[in-house]
DNA sequence: AGCGTTTAATTGCATATGCAATTGAAGAGG
DNA sequence: CCTCTTCAATTGCATATGCAATTAAACGCT
């Protein structure tokens, strides 16, 4: 932890002190200023830097630990945690992980790639107001050689410029983005649709068969990152979740 | 808060004191011993009862408040919170609420009711090992007079005996259960299926059209409460959720 | 170098204390 | 009866202090 890093912790004067500290550190993590693995200053250092008591700093860090943003160990100190790969029913972000978790062999194929200006539906989807440069990809994912899910994706080059050079030969675009971009907000929608002729052919099912459509849009600090439509053959897939009346108590 | 109520708070000696207190009170709430609206003893009363300092009691109650199980107000005190009606994407438990939230007029009709022993699929669904007494219901819900969702439900009479006498004329079974039973765990699954002939007719769609199928099973402290299958016409419905990489930060 | 022991950095927990903020309830005054 | 003021119950926040638990790193011994 360098001096510049600890100096980055700045309070805003709004609300309780412990919460100012919590939000200050949380924002550094969510903004990417303190990426996963960063060593957070020890309590007594923050205490001196911020002029707060140790218990107050401790309270702020304790809450961040409970929220999962940091992990703490006695003597070793506090480090920024890695975001969990998936943390709820629909937050399956890595299709290879999903397929291997089901006990199947994973493979994928890029069916098409077109770089250029976003088409009108994409512009509307992200409420952009103007056409921007994007990468458009169509990917078919296989489980044990059988088509598993059809992916159509748009990546925004303004937010993720490195995508222009990437060929996605070793790693599918969804996983590549997880490693090479930040995201702070996502929205997904799930619905049932009938497979169109070309989709059905790719997925090796009949035209008109029911499919589960998962659409996800992702932003980082308000800037669009990517949008993806995942089409799962209906008969073979269910999404399962567990919860209690007050949440996951 | 009577003496018997405060005496119900019992510590188990495992782990940190503040967490023992938190779990003790949490369990009283989750078990239904302290239903929503119950007045929780003030900090100084718990402090005397448990022999802990006020700060330690405060820490336990503070965490429960953050978890949403209690609400606290200065001077007024602490009361057990009502479980939120819906708290995430798929936790739409009240169909009337869902329909009215979309700005439509709600109505429903009980299409069929059969009481008796559970059929084999239900026995398997809840891993019961033997047939038990259940109520089986088929309900069609309408939004502005248009079929909205088809509900097939099984209610376990051993866990919810009052269901036997209820006719569900004023309130649909899902909402009646919310008011007349407790649940501690739920599991849901979502998938896409083709509408069968009879289902399609009821929903006023074509046979084979894609539908979103939500299946939910509910338990209270390990005892089965209800199972429901909700069939939504695919084209008209999407479930939407928002989240961040570390959860809902 | 390898191995056990000691040290010390860091977090975790609990207490005691004091004051601030909120607000229901009691009381005062008309 | 109504309104305004005062009081006090209750939670919220911050500090100071002390000790316990964990464990990486330093040390010392062979």
CB–CB contact A191 B242 (8 Å): no
Q: Find all residues with CB under 8 Å of B29, minimum gap 6, and list them.
A: B69, B70, B80
From B69, which residue of chain A is nearest by alpha-carbon distance?
A246
Of A88, A188, A237, the CB nearest to B191: A237
Given a cut of 60, whether residue B76 has pLDDT beyond it is yes
Closest nucleotide (C1' vs CA) to B57 is C14
Question: Is the C-beta atom of B225 closer than 7 angstroms to strand D?
Answer: no
pLDDT one-digit tens code per residue, A9-38: 999 989 999 999 999 999 999 888 999 999
Interfacial A residues in 217-236 facing B (CB < 8 Å):
232, 234-235
Tell me the CA–C1' distance in angstroms for B31 and D15. Answer: 38
Cα separations in angstroms, B244 against A86, A186, A218, A219: 11, 6, 9, 10
CATH of domain B95-236: 3.40.1410.10
Tell me the CA–C1' distance in angstroms for A21 and C9. Answer: 22
Strand, coil or helix: what is A116? strand
Question: Is the C-beta atom of B65 closer than 7 angstroms to strand D?
Answer: yes
What 3 state SS string does B72-88 have?
A: EECCCEEEECCCCCCCC
> How many angstroms separate the CA atoms of B16 and B78, rounded?
22
Question: Is the C-beta atom of A48 closer than 7 angstroms to strand D?
Answer: no
- CA angle, residues B120, B126, B130, in degrees to nearest 5: 50
Looking at the complex, report in whole angstroms how far the Cα of residue B62 sits from the nearest Cα belonging to chain A.
Answer: 11
Are the beta carbons of A25 and A72 closer than 8 angstroms?
Answer: no
Given a cut of 80, whether residue B21 has pLDDT beyond it is yes
Band (A4; pLDDT cuts 50, 70, 90): low
What 3 state SS string does A199-237 have?
A: HHHHHCCCCCCEEEEEEEEEEECCEEEEEEEEEEEHHHC
Given a cut of 60, whether residue A238 has pLDDT beyond it is yes
| Tokens coding B67 | 């978890």
Q: Which residue has better confidence, A187 or B107?
A: B107
Interfacial B residues in 138-177 facing A (CB < 8 Å):
none
Average confidence score pLDDT of chain B: 89
Query: Which of B's residues 53-82 have CB atoms within 7 A of nucleic strand C?
Result: 53-56, 73-76
Average confidence score pLDDT of chain A: 89
Strand, coil or helix: what is A52? coil
Short-list A139, A112, A106, CA closest to A228: A139
Tell me the CA–C1' distance in angstroms for A77 and C4. Answer: 25
* pLDDT recorded at residue A87: 46
Classify strands A146-156 and A223-233 as parallel, antiparallel or unpaired: antiparallel
The angle that helices A54-67 and A17-30 make with each other, rounded to 10 degrees, is 40
Choose from A5-9, A57-61, A121-125, A211-215 the range with maximum mean pLDDT: A57-61
The angle that helices B54-67 and B43-50 make with each other, rounded to 10 degrees, is 120
Are the beta carbons of A97 and A86 closer than 8 angstroms?
Answer: yes
Interfacial B residues in 46-75 facing A (CB < 8 Å):
67-69
Topology alike, domains A3-80 and A95-236: no
Band (B89; pLDDT cuts 50, 70, 90): very low
Looking at the complex, report in whole angstroms how far the Cα of residue A197 sits from the nearest Cα belonging to chain B.
Answer: 15
A173-204 residues labelled b (16+ CB within 10 A) or e (exposed): bbbbbbeebbbbbbebbbbbbbbeeebbebbe
CATH of domain B3-80: 1.10.10.10
Given a cut of 50, whether residue B87 has pLDDT beyond it is no
Are the beta carbons of B62 and B21 closer than 8 angstroms?
Answer: no
Band (A89; pLDDT cuts 50, 70, 90): very low
Tell me the CA–C1' distance in angstroms for B79 and C28. Answer: 32
A91 contact residues in B (CB cutoff 8 A): 243
Given a cut of 50, whether residue B33 has pLDDT beyond it is yes
CB–CB contact A30 B249 (8 Å): yes
A237 contact residues in B (CB cutoff 8 A): 191-192
Tell me the CA–C1' distance in angstroms for A6 and C2. Answer: 39
Task: Return the nearest residue to C14, CA–C1'.
Answer: B56
Given a cut of 90, whether residue B90 has pLDDT beyond it is no
Are the beta carbons of A27 and A36 closer than 8 angstroms?
Answer: no
| Tokens coding A44 | 């007594």
Q: Find all residues with CB under 8 Å of B32, minimum gap 6, and list them.
A: B182
Closest nucleotide (C1' vs CA) to A53 is D15
Of B183, B187, B192, the CB nearest to A234: B192
Question: Is the C-beta atom of A75 closer than 7 angstroms to strand D?
Answer: yes
How do the domains of chain B map onto residue ranges? 3-80, 95-236
Short-list A29, A25, A28, A30, CA closest to A56: A25
> How many angstroms separate the CA atoms of A63 and A25, rounded?
11
> How many angstroms separate the CA atoms of A46 and A6, rounded?
8
List chain C nucleotides near protein: any atom < 7 Å from a Cβ.
8-17, 20-24
B85-105 residues labelled b (16+ CB within 10 A) or e (exposed): eebbbbbbbbbbbbbeeeeee
Question: Is the C-alpha dihedral spanning B158, B160, B162, B167 positive or negative?
Answer: negative
């Amino acid at each position: 932890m360098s001096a510049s890093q600890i100096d980055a912790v700045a309070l805003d004067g709004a609300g309780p002190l412990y919460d100012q500290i919590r939000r200050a550190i949380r924002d550094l993590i969510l903004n990417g200023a303190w990426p996963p693995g960063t060593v957070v200053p020890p309590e007594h250092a923050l205490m001196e830097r911020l002029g707060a008591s140790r218990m107050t700093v401790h309270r702020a860090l304790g809450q961040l630990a409970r929220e999962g943003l940091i992990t703490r160990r006695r003597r070793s100190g506090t480090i920024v945690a890695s975001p969990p790969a998936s943390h709820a029913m629909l937050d399956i972000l890595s299709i290879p992980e999903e397929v291997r978790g089901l006990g199947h062999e994973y493979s994928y194929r890029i069916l098409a790639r077109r770089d250029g200006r976003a088409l009108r539906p994409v512009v509307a989807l992200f409420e952009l107001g103007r056409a921007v440069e994007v990468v458009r990809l169509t990917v078919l994912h296989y489980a044990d050689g059988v088509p598993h899910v059809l992916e159509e994706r748009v990546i925004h080059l303004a937010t993720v410029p490195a995508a222009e050079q990437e060929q996605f030969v070793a790693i599918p675009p969804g996983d590549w983005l997880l490693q090479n971009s930040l995201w702070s907000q996502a929205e997904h929608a799930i619905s049932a649709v009938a497979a169109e002729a070309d989709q059905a052919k790719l997925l090796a099912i009949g035209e008109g068969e029911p499919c589960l459509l998962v659409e996800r849009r992702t932003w980082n600090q308000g800037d669009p990152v990517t949008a993806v439509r995942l089409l799962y053959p209906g008969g073979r897939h269910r999404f399962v979740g567990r919860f209690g009346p007050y949440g996951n108590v």
